Chain A
Amino acid sequence: MKKGLASSKERARPQAPLWAFGVLIAVLIVLYLPIIVMMVNSVLVKTDTWHFGFDWYLQIWNDEELVDALVRSLEVGLISSTVATLISGMAAIALLRSRFRWAHIVNSLSYLSLILPELVFALALLSWFFVLKIQLSLMTVIFAHVTFSLSFVLMTVNGRLATLDVSIEDAARDLGASEMTILRRVIVPAVLAALASGFLLSFLLSFDDFLITFYTSGVGSDTLPIRLYTAMKVGLNAKLSALATLMFLLTFTLIMGLTKMRGLRQILTEEGH
């Protein structure tokens, strides 16, 4: 019964029963099995017999449409996360370091964007662009991606600013620093890491988004997930597996980067509480 007492540093936690670990491991296997099958499929080439090779990856590289879609995905991701990081980073400072008059509206709108079903947001934007007679293009996709990234960046930067010791800023103020100097020399360096993880997180969200892009993209502005979806409707082949594997690996790398920055863990474990 007391077998679960961990090392003296940690709080005592009775060991969960073995079957609980069984469930956890089983779920992890079920989650990863299809992805592994997909990866294996992407490196198997059939000539006379099956053998290992990167032929499918070469085919992607030679497929101009796919490369174009990749470039568009990266473009949308980079632009939208830069804009989102800038806007939300500034807003976080205004919210926590000044008396911003509309603070409650900003807070409720950004909360709303977290709980609003993607589908409703997507069709709302589509109708809005239609009413304003804005032609759907890569630009509308970028507008949409900025909008859904904003609250994630705001959350990340807010989290950092809230724990930042204000006495440093007060000290700087006492020593005669102007607000701009405090911003430049104290606040920005302190939240730089949070801004970076906010940026990575929005890039990840943008790169992975399907539904909102599906609704807001026009002719010739489809991103990689849209390509994959359209191709999948026709049929599956090893080339698509290679494409999906590449996208998975990119996401994987980004997540590893985020985990190093602790930003992701913070968001994942503190979001729902």
Chain B
Amino acid sequence: MKRKPPPAPTLISNELAWFGYPLLLWLMFFMAAPLFLVIALGFFSRGEYGGVEAQLTLENFHRLFDPVYFTIFVRSITLSLVTALICLALSYPMAWAMASASQKWRLYFTVGLAIPFMTNLIIRVYAIKLCVGMDGPLQSLLTWLHISFDPYQISQNQTLVFYGMITSYLPFMVFPIYAALEKFDFSLVEAAEDLGASQLKVLFSVILPNTRTAAVNSFTLVFVPCLGEFVIPDLLGGAKTMLAGNLITEQFLKARDWPFGAALSLGLMTVLLVLPYLLRRIFIPKAKAAA
């Protein structure tokens, strides 16, 4: 799977260059333009009946710091960070086990993790709800064991949101770390063990520092979709655990306050750009030189 650097074509022609235009135009029209629109929308005011008025204002951004909305943001960031940390803690042993398995088993594990990962989120959330819902196996088991419980509390709560987030985004973390461990020189582990390091010591002092780029990158890969998640908190969390994704969707589809929704999503994007950047600065000292 190692890629050779492409040999430079000796004779390059420009006859096929126009092949690039459909993609360029499509991305400009359906990607760049809509994004610019959202940025602009954030500075407009809301019309009386939910439309958008061409009156410039900073009010929307000011409202971001209203404690009601600010709390939701802080809660979302905390939840996403914790999710990413748990994923990180799970990913290293998993990726290590995968990397040291035989070739055949490596493929089985990869496909085994990829299947639920590529399966529709709605299906996975449905399956989770089925397990914890009315007449589901969990509630039946609890009844059988004569443990009393609140059927509503048990089918919608923050733990389930964590569970849903972790199972959904774990592969984003496992695959890059696995790829890094594949390339990792395991003779370093042997050397450390020969020198008397314990297994945990090997993990924290040898493997982790040598694969930190993959760790930081995949931390971002988990953190980004978690922060914008709408479906999981909506279906598993109930009304108490509103997150940024639900708040934004509410502004766009229910309250029809598009300018504020746009401002909220710009706030979200800022967090998504700043936090991963800080992580890189802190944990990969060389990133500064490379960039």
Residues of A whose CB lies within 8 Å of any CB of B are 1-2, 4, 6, 10-17, 19-21, 23-24, 27-28, 30-35, 37-38, 41, 86-88, 90-91, 93-103, 105-106, 109-110, 112-113, 115-121, 123-128, 131, 143-144, 146-147, 150, 154, 159, 162-163, 165-167, 169-170, 173, 179-180, 183, 204, 207-208, 210-211, 215, 225, 228-229, 232-233, 236, 240-241, 244, 247-248, 251-252, 255, 259, 264-266, 268-273
Contacts and interface: CB of A to CB of B under 8 A. Distances in A.
A183 B161 CA distance: 50
A272 B20 contact: no
A16 B20 contact: no
A54 B15 CA distance: 57
Contacts of B221: 272
B228 A118 contact: yes
A94 B100 contact: no
B118 interface: yes
Interface of B: 1, 3-4, 6-24, 26-28, 30-35, 37-38, 41, 90, 93-94, 96-100, 102-103, 107, 109-116, 118-131, 133-134, 136-137, 167, 170-172, 175-176, 178-180, 182, 186-187, 189-190, 193-194, 199, 214, 217-218, 221, 224-225, 227-231, 235, 245, 248-249, 252-253, 258, 261-262, 265, 268-269, 272
A255 B111 contact: yes
Contacts of A95: 20
B23 A87 contact: yes
A265 B110 contact: yes
B100 A14 contact: yes
Contacts of B37: 124, 127-128, 131
A144 B31 CA distance: 9
A13 B102 CA distance: 10
Contacts of B217: 272-273
Given A91-B20, A210-B122, A16 B27 contact: no
A183 B131 contact: no
B84 to A, nearest CB: 13
Given A38-B127, A91-B19, A20 B97 contact: yes
